[in-house]
Amino acid sequence: MGGAGQSEGRFAAYVESLASVLGHAGRSGPLLDYCTGLLMPGERKSVEPIASVVSPARTSATHQSLLHFVGQSPWSDEALLAKVRAQAAPAFDAQGGVEAWIVDDTGFPKKGSHSVGVARQYCGRLGKTDNCQIAVTLSIANHHVSLPIAYRLYLPEDWAKDAERRQKAHVPEEVEFRTKPQIALAQIAVAVKAGVALGIVLGDAGYGSDGGFRAGVSALGLIYGVGVQSTLSVWPPGEGPLPPKSWSGGRGRKPSRLRHDAEHRPVSAKTLAMRLLPAEAWTNVEWGEGSNETLSSRFAAVRVRPAARDHTLTEPHPVEWLVIEWPEGEAEPTKYWLSTLPEDTPLAALVDALKLRWRIERDYEELKSELGLDHFEGRGWRGFHHHASLCIAAYGFLILERSALPPQPAGAAQNLPFPAVPDPHAPPVRTERHVVNSIATIRKRLTIALAKSLYRCPCCQAVSRRRNFHPRL
């Protein structure tokens, strides 16, 4: 990869390629301005602060231009995200391609009741129920890179039924209430139709505990590895619901007698883990590098049949993996997953695939802390999605820049030196340490290059010394 100065040219070319799907040539300027502003330092990365950074001499006019571009302009979020995905393809190809599709949701704390979709609901960022918006996402990932490719606001049922609030927030007429698993399944179906490189579908228990979601993923021909609750009913290895006549060709006992056999019942995943599995079923598995140590825990994996709610089925349920994590020192297991990975998959490979879901958490953290995903201040449906799409577009460029750097060796994140403190009497509040190829480091280096294209440096406020510099019009 070239130096910081060359990254400015690469960024301009990248944004120009994205502009081709916006439908109007006049949108290329606001696209460049907004993406530049998202990459610049600043406490808030909403429309007005971005306008003041990229065009300090014409802040008011630029503010109005960006406000229209983000809040009202009818360009397609889906088309832009598809273009970002295509542009980011080399970053995935360099690391072996797509391995997983990760579904998840992220919350945005909000005050008031007028922002589209805001309601009292569980917010993962806060770890409690509070006033917030929630977006459901689908990301493609491997062990080195990940990128959101679909993004949709979850519209609570009371919002979906409130015609007055819908009108004020400009919610499209075709948008109806859907649960989060339903939104995610629709995103997966669109990705399949678009020919996105396939991977195992990963998700937490908020998605995996929904039987309809799991069935829908399988119906699309995809393999999954999803979290489930400890209360999930399963038939232990080698067992299953006793067959009615339709299974046995009319032979055997009457179905009514079999269905009420008190001794032939499924058990909860927790009961299976704690009472029925022998000690030798548990194995310590390492799955990744943490900031200070290798990540490992105890796991067991068994082949089970998930049970129907009434403990009977009209046809046999497929056998799949139940993977359980029970860390040393814990009184009981902490996590459970169901997976349709092949029967001959080793335990270490199962754990490796399931734990890949953590990458989405890093995506959210970087999108929020580095690019201001949670800084949007508008109230409308279109603006909420446009801002997120532009954040993901900027993120796509950062992962492209990172893909050109050599990968860091295992353990590189451990024992990083703190930077020197030039003034011992006024040390920084937090002395940050960054891996060379982290998104944070790459964004900071890109900031230096992009600042040269601005009339005024966003850090020191110095006016550009370029003789031929012209402020953006």
CA angle 360, 190, 144 (to 5 degrees): 30
- The reply to whether 381 falls in a domain is no
| pLDDT beyond 80 at 401 | yes
CA end-to-end span of the chain? 31
Assigned token pair, 372: 């201001």
pLDDT of residue 247: 41
User: Residue 31 — φ and ψ, nearest 5°?
Assistant: -60, -45
| pLDDT beyond 70 at 158 | yes
Assigned token pair, 254: 């009457």
Q: Using an 8 Å Cβ cutoff, are 185 and 208 in contact?
A: no
- The reply to whether 460 falls in a domain is no
pLDDT, one tens digit per residue, over 53-76 is 888 888 999 999 999 999 999 999
Assigned token pair, 357: 């879901």
pLDDT, one tens digit per residue, over 168-216 is 999 999 999 999 999 999 999 999 999 999 999 999 999 999 999 999 9
Q: How many domains does the chain have?
A: 1
pLDDT of residue 260: 44
> Rounded mean pLDDT of the chain?
85
- The reply to whether 280 falls in a domain is yes
**Element holding 395 (H helix, E strand):** helix 381-403
- The reply to whether 292 falls in a domain is yes
pTM summary value: 0.87
pLDDT, one tens digit per residue, over 252-276 is 444 444 444 556 689 999 999 999 9
| Segments forming the whole domain that contains residue 324 | 211-241+265-360
Please name which of 473, 391, 421, 355 lies closest in space to residue 80, comparing C-alpha atoms. Answer: 391
| pLDDT beyond 70 at 149 | yes
